[in-house]
């Protein structure tokens, strides 16, 4: 007998419970105190002492909210609120609490504490869900101290092996495995997928679209695919004075043309394509020497894998044309590939419906950034909820979000989770 | 009575003396042993212990060649071979022996040792010149350890004051004044211009033109004027993924357009104009962040000051257009200005004639680089002699020059100096 069939769920529309925005805000501020920077941001690198303090605080809060907590072998923290039928796959939410070195208060932290606030709200209203609710803190999403990024969710979804990530070291030579042991988060639960009803993740947009369109809720339908490249342009360094223009092999001039081309490639696949050169290093980087070598990154993104492949073709063609022109040689190497990740229709609809129900403005949006949800979508029906962030700024100490948006996104999460988990008759 | 009128000079064409190419080459190699680097270059920074060793060796050689040596207050070394009439202004040559940190064997050193070889040759052939001959080692031409560049010749020509340069410090805080004292080259002769018949300077081209045209002697008619700028492009850093192309304020994309423009400005004023962006720094220089700030240098050069001003106008207009486009702001600051420096007709003709007399291929050429001769030209009739260097490479440990070119350039120097100094009847 299916235990869940023994209870009646009432429609979520009947649920008038709302989260406590002030409590959520205060939790965000308390967590932001651990690793607070003078400029108002947070520096709490994965598996550092400060990460341990942040984890301990979240775990304490979860235990205070009557959750059971288990830690898996890569340090992911699963905080479960029992449902009426605990044999059912949980409705899960979460994100990460590690930050960039000059990170903000909201990236990641919001997704975790919004999940905690959902649990606290359910407790306040004595709401028993049919399926259990689970809030997860994924280890090392940022990848600032240890690569790869999205490490905990990646192992969980089978993107890479536990052994591989435990052996990764930071710049000082400390390994993920030893640092997990040191901070007490090398858990015993296996890090492997298990049946999950739904994974939701609430997150600040980290972009400017919601703010620019005065929209409160981004209904995230997919995440862009990504191809990252390393490029090395090799010319010949020479004195800036004595070398005539026509005899130059100027690696920086060629790199500039490539930067322009990357921009043009993205514009050619509007609206969802992106093309970015984020880092550039010129050698010898001296003001009166023509640069002989320039290294740069290229980051191409698209919502559709065919488009991303086309963009890849166009980038290769541009590098080939520079090579053929004969002044410089261009070496292009792809170093990262994430396929585009569509989210799941029913789950996306649950987010959209929740926003409607709450009378919040909403729009479909595609996530340009990577998130733990992108890996989770490989093993569970997944959707994301975006809220605006000030000026679209993230990965920055001045990252900011409005309390009313923080609250609105969490209410959407509450209702969407209840839709998926069902409410047991009280 | 003018003492010089008491002697007859014979035409230089009658002089069959030639320098000793092997001796000159060996002197270059001996001096290159002081501060030799594993890659075959030289690191002998101005006023270092190695600079002292190099100076001591050159002074010893000059004294062995019966020169009188005096040191001025900025450490310039004047090595004089008496003429028949020592009241006449000397015919001078020279250059510098300090090097870049990864410098070569020939830059500067060639000009000094070619001068010494001229004196040794005159001694070998018992040739008495009418005017005295003077070989100079100018202090700190490179500017690697202490700025400004061309320090010794600059003080001599009145470009900056002795007090100013003596107070300059290196990165460790040692001053020019104290380092001159320490190495024993804080001389007592005043560093100030005095009447000079002619200043010649022999130098490797440091560019590719002579090699590309298979020409042995560059008859240097002028030095390009230079304007150097610091540019700061300010946009807004943002996540490469979530930020749509049309909402970006990409400082690196704008900087790329400026780099292209600098190249186009120079091409528009062919053949002598140059435009170079040699250094670039992007912030935060992270592969998935749109650069918010880019700093870069611009180096514009032209043979004619009107052209240089036009180029300056065009650069300012390009920066203004980027500003007006509204995505980024561009701040442009000129940090260096050297006016174009034409050399002197009679002196240039002496070089050209000497090359002809020796049956060497020669061509008029404009120096794109700065040299001590550029300052000397402000206070004395000046010309320069260029010889090819391998692949046009200089300021590099692999800098190289062919022994036959080293010898040819020195023979041109010998004949040109004799033309100007005159030969006393034996």
B-chain CB neighbours of A297 within 8 Å are 287
Residue B426 in domain: no
Of B337, B254, B262, nearest in space to B297 by CA: B262
Query: Does B6 score more than 60 pLDDT?
Result: no
- Least CB-CB distance to B240: which of A267, A276, A392? A276
Kindly write down the DSSP assignment for every residue of A94-125, as one continuous string.
Answer: EE-----TTB-SSTTHHHHHHHHHHHHHHHHT
Q: Does the beta carbon of B145 lie under 8 angstroms from any beta carbon of chain A?
A: no
Handedness of CA A198, A204, A206, A212 (dihedral sign): positive
A-chain CB neighbours of B266 within 8 Å are 245
Contact (CB<8Å) A245/B367: no
Q: Both ends of chain A: CA-CA distance in Å?
A: 21
Is the same domain home to B304 and B293? yes
Pairing of strands B91-95, B289-290: unpaired
Q: How many CB pairs under 8 A join A and B?
A: 208
Alpha-helix runs per DSSP H in A285-344: 305-325
pLDDT tens-digit readout, A40-93: 999 999 999 999 999 999 999 999 999 999 999 999 999 999 999 999 999 999
Q: Give the per-residue pLDDT at B377.
A: 98
DSSP H or E stretch at residue A327: none
Contact (CB<8Å) B253/A259: yes
Give me the CATH number covering residue A248.
3.30.70.360
- Counting Cα atoms < 13 Å in the Cβ hemisphere of B379 gives 19
pLDDT tens-digit readout, B101-143: 889 999 999 999 999 999 999 999 999 999 999 999 999 999 9
Query: Does A2 score more than 80 pLDDT?
Result: no
Residue B191 in domain: yes
Is the same domain home to B115 and B233? no
Q: Going by C-beta distance under 8 Å and a sequence separation of 6 or more, which residues neighbour residue A237? A: A283, A284, A289, A290, A291, A292, A293, B396
Is the same domain home to A219 and A230? no
d(CA A252, CA A281): 9
pLDDT band at A1 (very low <50, low <70, confident <90, very high): very low
Number of domains in chain A: 2
Contact (CB<8Å) A243/B291: no
Is the same domain home to B177 and B291? no
pLDDT band at B426 (very low <50, low <70, confident <90, very high): low
d(CA A215, CA A218): 7
Residue A407 in domain: yes
Q: Give the per-residue pLDDT at B215.
A: 98
Region B235-248 average pLDDT: 92
Is the same domain home to B307 and B282? yes
CA angle B308–B309–B314, rounded 5-degree value: 95
Query: Does A6 score more than 90 pLDDT?
Result: no
Mean pLDDT of chain B: 94
Q: Which of B317, B338, B359 is where one domain is finished?
A: B338
Q: Is B73 helix (H, G, I), strand (E, B) or coil?
A: coil
d(CA B153, CA B155): 6
Region A334-360 average pLDDT: 97
Contact (CB<8Å) A395/B239: yes
The percent of residues in chain B predicted with pLDDT above 90, rounded, is 91
Contact (CB<8Å) B209/A247: yes
pLDDT band at B144 (very low <50, low <70, confident <90, very high): confident
Contact (CB<8Å) B241/A250: no
Alpha-helix runs per DSSP H in A250-336: 251-267, 305-325
Of A197, A129, A134, nearest in space to A425 by CA: A129
DSSP H or E stretch at residue A51: helix A49-64
pLDDT band at A14 (very low <50, low <70, confident <90, very high): low
Handedness of CA A48, A50, A54, A56 (dihedral sign): positive
Q: Does the beta carbon of A327 lie under 8 angstroms from any beta carbon of chain B?
A: no
Contact (CB<8Å) B242/A279: no
Residue A163 in domain: yes
Handedness of CA A236, A240, A241, A245 (dihedral sign): positive
Q: Is B213 helix (H, G, I), strand (E, B) or coil?
A: coil
Is the same domain home to A68 and A178? yes
CB A156 within 8 A of CB A191: yes
Of A322, A339, A307, nearest in space to A259 by CA: A322
Is the same domain home to A48 and A117? yes
Of B54, B95, B63, nearest in space to B183 by CA: B54
DSSP H or E stretch at residue B366: strand B362-367
CB A96 within 8 A of CB A138: yes
- The pair of structure tokens assigned to B161 is 């004051």
pLDDT tens-digit readout, B332-357: 999 999 999 999 999 999 999 999 99
Region A21-36 average pLDDT: 97
- Least CB-CB distance to B244: which of A255, A256, A271? A271
Query: Count of CB atoms within 10 A of residue B163's CB?
Result: 9
Q: Give the per-residue pLDDT at B402.
A: 97
Q: Both ends of chain B: CA-CA distance in Å?
A: 21
Q: Give the per-residue pLDDT at B343.
A: 98
Contact (CB<8Å) B395/A289: yes
CB B343 within 8 A of CB B383: yes
| Phi, psi angle pair for A99, to nearest 5° | -130, 170
The percent of residues in chain A predicted with pLDDT above 90, rounded, is 91
DSSP state of A205: -
Pairing of strands A280-283, A293-302: antiparallel
pLDDT tens-digit readout, B371-417: 999 999 999 999 999 999 999 988 888 999 999 999 999 999 999 99
Residues 285-324 of chain B whose Cβ lies under 8 A from any Cβ of chain A:
285-291, 297, 299, 301
Query: Does A160 score more than 80 pLDDT?
Result: yes
Q: Does the beta carbon of A1 lie under 8 angstroms from any beta carbon of chain B?
A: no
Of A68, A59, A28, nearest in space to A185 by CA: A59
A-chain CB neighbours of B274 within 8 Å are 240-241, 243-245
- The pair of structure tokens assigned to B112 is 């000094």
Pairing of strands A68-71, A77-81: antiparallel
A-chain CB neighbours of B142 within 8 Å are none
Is the same domain home to A81 and A140? yes
Report CA-CA distances (Å) from A75 to A70, A253, A351, B269. 9, 47, 29, 64
CB A123 within 8 A of CB A66: yes
Region B69-74 average pLDDT: 98
Report CA-CA distances (Å) from B46 to A283, B143, B146, B339. 24, 8, 8, 25
Give me the CATH number covering residue A205.
3.40.630.10
Is the same domain home to B262 and B319? yes
Q: CB-based burial of residue B258 (10 Å sphere; 0-12 exposed, 13-18 middle, 19+ buried)?
A: buried
| Phi, psi angle pair for B107, to nearest 5° | -55, 115
d(CA A50, CA A46): 8
Q: Does the beta carbon of A261 lie under 8 angstroms from any beta carbon of chain B?
A: no
Residue A410 in domain: yes
Query: Does B20 score more than 80 pLDDT?
Result: yes
d(CA A257, CA B257): 8
pLDDT tens-digit readout, B250-308: 999 999 999 999 999 999 999 999 999 999 999 989 888 899 999 999 999 999 999 99
Region B36-40 average pLDDT: 94
- The pair of structure tokens assigned to A160 is 């890479």
Is the same domain home to B193 and B325? no
Of A235, A200, A236, A192, nearest in space to A219 by CA: A200
DSSP H or E stretch at residue A272: none
Contact (CB<8Å) A260/B257: yes
pLDDT band at A426 (very low <50, low <70, confident <90, very high): low
Q: CB-based burial of residue A294 (10 Å sphere; 0-12 exposed, 13-18 middle, 19+ buried)?
A: buried
B-chain CB neighbours of A276 within 8 Å are 240, 250, 288, 290
Which residue in this structure is represented by tokens 């702001």? B329
Is the same domain home to B158 and B304? no
Of A224, A222, A223, A220, nearest in space to A362 by CA: A220
Q: Give the per-residue pLDDT at B394.
A: 87
Contact (CB<8Å) B276/A250: yes
d(CA A218, CA A355): 9
Q: Which of B294, B318, B338 is where one domain is finished?
A: B338
> % helix / strand / coil in chain B, to the nearest 5?
35, 25, 40
Residue A230 in domain: yes
Kindly write down the DSSP assignment for every residue of A365-398, as one continuous string.
Answer: EEE-S--HHHHHTTTS-EEEEEE--GGG--SSTT
Region A324-331 average pLDDT: 96
Minimum distance, in Å, between the CA of residue A25 and any CA atom of chain B: 24
Q: Give the per-residue pLDDT at B286.
A: 87
d(CA A182, CA A179): 5
Q: Give the per-residue pLDDT at A287.
A: 87
For testing the chain A interface, which of B149, B245, B286 should be mutated: the one with the most A CBs within 10 Å?
B245
Instruction: Please name every residue paired with A217 in a beta bridge, in sequence order, or none if there are none.
Output: A362
Please give the biggest Cα pair distance in chain A.
88
Query: Does A7 score more than 50 pLDDT?
Result: no
Query: Does A133 score more than 60 pLDDT?
Result: yes
CB A114 within 8 A of CB A411: no
The percent of residues in chain A predicted with pLDDT above 70, rounded, is 96
ipTM of the complex: 0.88
d(CA A219, CA A283): 45
Residues 343-382 of chain A whose Cβ lies under 8 A from any Cβ of chain B:
367-370
Q: Does the beta carbon of B327 lie under 8 angstroms from any beta carbon of chain A?
A: no
Contact (CB<8Å) B299/A257: no
Minimum distance, in Å, between the CA of residue B310 and any CA atom of chain A: 18
Query: Does A353 score more than 90 pLDDT?
Result: yes
Residue B120 in domain: yes
Query: Count of CB atoms within 10 A of residue B337's CB?
Result: 13
pLDDT band at A3 (very low <50, low <70, confident <90, very high): very low
DSSP state of B146: S
Is the same domain home to B213 and B362? yes
Residue A29 in domain: yes
Alpha-helix runs per DSSP H in A203-250: 209-212
> % helix / strand / coil in chain A, to the nearest 5?
35, 25, 40
Q: Which of A281, A307, A338 is where one domain is finished?
A: A338
Nearest CA in chain A to B395: A239
- Least CB-CB distance to B287: which of A208, A228, A396? A228
CB B343 within 8 A of CB B222: yes
CB B133 within 8 A of CB B91: yes
Give the domain extent around A9.
Answer: 3-223+340-421
């Amino acid at each position: 007998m299916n235990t869940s069939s023994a209870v009646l769920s009432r429609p979520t529309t009947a649920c008038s419970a709302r989260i406590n925005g002030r409590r959520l805000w205060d939790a965000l501020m308390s967590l932001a105190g651990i690793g607070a920077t003078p400029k108002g941001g947070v520096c709490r690198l994965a598996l550092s002492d400060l990460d341990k303090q942040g984890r301990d605080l979240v775990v304490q809060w979860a235990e205070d909210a009557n959750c059971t907590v288990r830690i898996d072998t890569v340090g992911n923290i699963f905080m479960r609120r029992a449902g009426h039928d605990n044999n059912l796959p949980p409705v899960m939410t979460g994100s990460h609490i590690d930050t960039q070195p000059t990170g903000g208060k909201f990236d990641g932290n919001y997704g975790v504490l919004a999940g905690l606030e959902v649990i606290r709200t359910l407790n306040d209203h004595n709401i028993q869900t049919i399926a259990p609710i689970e809030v997860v803190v994924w280890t090392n999403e940022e990848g600032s101290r240890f690569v790869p990024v999205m490490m905990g969710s990646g192992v969980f979804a089978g993107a890479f092996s536990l052994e591989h990530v435990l052996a990764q070291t930071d710049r000082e030579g400390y390994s993920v495995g030893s640092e997990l042991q040191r901070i007490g988060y090398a858990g015993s639960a296996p890090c492997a997928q298990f049946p999950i009803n739904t994974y939701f993740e609430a997150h600040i947009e980290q972009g400017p679209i919601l703010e620019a369109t005065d929209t409160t809720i981004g209904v995230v339908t997919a995440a862009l695919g990504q191809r990252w490249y390393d490029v090395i342009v090799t010319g010949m360094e020479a004195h800036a004075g004595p070398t005539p223009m026509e005899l130059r092999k100027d690696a920086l001039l060629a790199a500039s043309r490539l930067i322009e081309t990357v921009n043009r490639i993205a514009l050619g696949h509007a609206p969802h394509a992106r093309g970015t050169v984020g880092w550039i290093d010129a050698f010898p980087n001296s003001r009166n020497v023509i640069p002989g070598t320039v290294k740069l990154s290229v980051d191409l993104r698209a919502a559709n894998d065919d488009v991303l492949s086309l963009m890849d073709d166009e980038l290769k063609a541009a590098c080939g044309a520079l090579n053929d022109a004969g002044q410089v040689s261009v070496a292009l190497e792809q170093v990262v590939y994430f396929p585009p990740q569509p989210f799941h229709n029913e789950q996306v609809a649950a987010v959209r419906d929740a926003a409607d129900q709450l009378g919040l403005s909403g729009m479909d949006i595609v996530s340009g950034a990577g998130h733990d949800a992108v890996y989770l979508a490989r093993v569970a029906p997944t959707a994301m909820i975006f809220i605006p962030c000030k000026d679209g700024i993230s990965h920055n100490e001045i990252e900011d979000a409005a309390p009313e948006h923080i609250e609105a996104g969490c209410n959407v999460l509450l209702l969407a989770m209840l839709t998926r988990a069902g409410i047991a008759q009280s």
